[in-house]
Structure 1
């Protein structure tokens, strides 16, 4: 039995699809609510779904747990309720860590590239628990993820009880099917597809950085199936522990992304630049790029999908078909 928190969400449900194909029995901790999140699980239902409130009672009686994938979080970068974010993103993570340590269960959790804050040079994106002390996240979400990463680092360095395998994954800009419930946090790929497929221009923010061309903001975009492949590999390699980046290892411009969407839609390369809202400027990352050396050194060798190939697959096999779900 494998527990997946946030298992009806974007990355969590894609992980659930892979675990289902592997024949694993899964317990998902999430709320389906009424916005159609159940569709993320329609083709690969779990053995059981429990609410986050029911998790403590479930853990008291749980036996035979093979691993815990902790994907659940308040993940919006616009989050403002600090107490709720701390309780969800930090305190719950600590509780699950301690349970896994006591019960000798592997623990794999979602961190975030948002912990890197205003980092803007490739050398600033080095992972590992020894490299995170001076990071300065730009928003509450990123700060909460950094807070738990630091707690993990202190726990490990102090020799306190740890799960037999523990892994934090700093996810970069993930895109792909099963993200359609995310509203304002949906991937830029899907947003640009909606614009281009409806006959509009692909709109990008003008640069606010001196010397950086409009559309020249660069991010590390990773196809969701690549992120899931990393997690399945970790499950099968319990000797690997640590804090790892999870991106493609390549920084691509938003202009590259928009042009790839236009090409995949077989539309003209029509790009329009608009001003960035003032509310975003103070917390906007103009550059991210995952240093993937630590994961490679740990033994993961599979190549990552290029931005053009990932966008083409997403559009051809999902968006154009009206099939938005794995």
Structure 2
């Protein structure tokens, strides 16, 4: 059996669907609650659903676990409860690392591009442990992911026991189906499409960086199907370990994204710029771009979906047809 923590969430449920189609038995560790997350699993229910509270007891008795995909976390960049974020994003990750080490089970986990913080476009988005001490995350979520990455670095460089395969993926800006429970953390693609569907103009934040034109904030937007491909590739290549970026290697502007949504929705390319909320000022990454050379050197050869193709696929195959789930 394969464990997927956060398996009812966005990326987790898309991975779980791919594993389900391959005939794997999956144990999901998550809470469904009342947000409609069960719909993410409606056509591909897991072998077992375990609550986070019951997870330690489950692991005590678990047998024949062949891999752990640890994708569960408090992922809101606006999170404020430091104790809860540490417990969920750091302490649980450390516990699972040690369990996988003891049981010799491969461990693939979610890091985040939020660890890069305010890094500019000077080539600073390099993965691995080489420059990890120089990173300065801008929010609690990014800091928690950085804290665990640093802990992993200390385990590896200190020569301590570790899982037979370990891999952390720094996810960049992921978009696609199964994200609808995320509330204010929905992808910009979905938010802009909803604005257009309501007959409104697509709205973007004005730049809060001196000299940077409104709409020219850039991110590395990646289609969720490409993320799943990377996760499956790591699973199928147990000799590959490391801390890797997971983006496309292309930085695209929010204006480009808004235009792609307008084009796919058959609407005019109209954009309205609004002030950035006070809560985001000073915590907003105006540029991200994954350096994908490490994953390429490790042997990953698949191409990545372009922004225009991914947005059109999301809208044509899902949103426009009100088919929201895999």
TM-score by length of 2: 0.99
Determine if the alignment matches structure 1 residue 111 to structure 2 residue 103.
no
1:106-255 mapped onto 2 (5 Å cutoff): 106-255=106-255
Query: 2:97 is matched with which residue?
Result: 97
Partner of 1:318: 318
Hey, what's the Cα distance between the residues in 2 that align with 1:122 and 1:305?
A: 24
- 1:131 to partner: Cα distance: 2.4
**Is 1:264 the equivalent of 2:251?**
no
Q: State the secondary structure of the residue aligned to 2:180.
A: coil
In 2, Cα distance between equivalents of 1:35 and 1:125: 34
- Which consecutive unaligned segments of at least 5 residues does structure 1 have? none
Contact 1:122 1:291 in 2 (8 A): no
Structure 2 unaligned residues grouped into runs of 5+: none
Classify the secondary structure of the residue corresponding to 2:130. Answer: helix
The 10-residue stretch of structure 1 (118-127 or 42-51) with the greater mean CA deviation from structure 2:
118-127
Residue 122 of structure 1 deviates from its aligned partner by 4.3
- Measured in 1, the distance between the counterparts of 2:300 and 2:97 equals 24
The 1-side partners of 2:291 and 2:54 are apart by: 38
Contact between 1:6 and 1:28, CA under 8 Å: does it hold in 2? yes
Q: How do 1:33-72 residues align onto structure 2 when only pairs under 5 Å count?
A: 33-72=33-72
Partner SS for 1:76:
coil
**Count of aligned pairs:** 326
Deviations, residues 58-86 of structure 1 (Å, cap 9, x unaligned): 11111111100000000001111111110
CA RMSD in angstroms, aligned pairs only? 0.7
Name 1:2's counterpart in structure 2: 2
C-alpha separation in 2, matches of 1:289 and 1:130: 17
Which whole-Å deviations, capped at 9, do the CAs of 1:174-223 have from their partners, x for residues lacking one? 00000000000000000000011222110011112222111000000000
Deviates more, 1:147-156 or 1:127-136: 127-136
1:87 aligned residue:
87
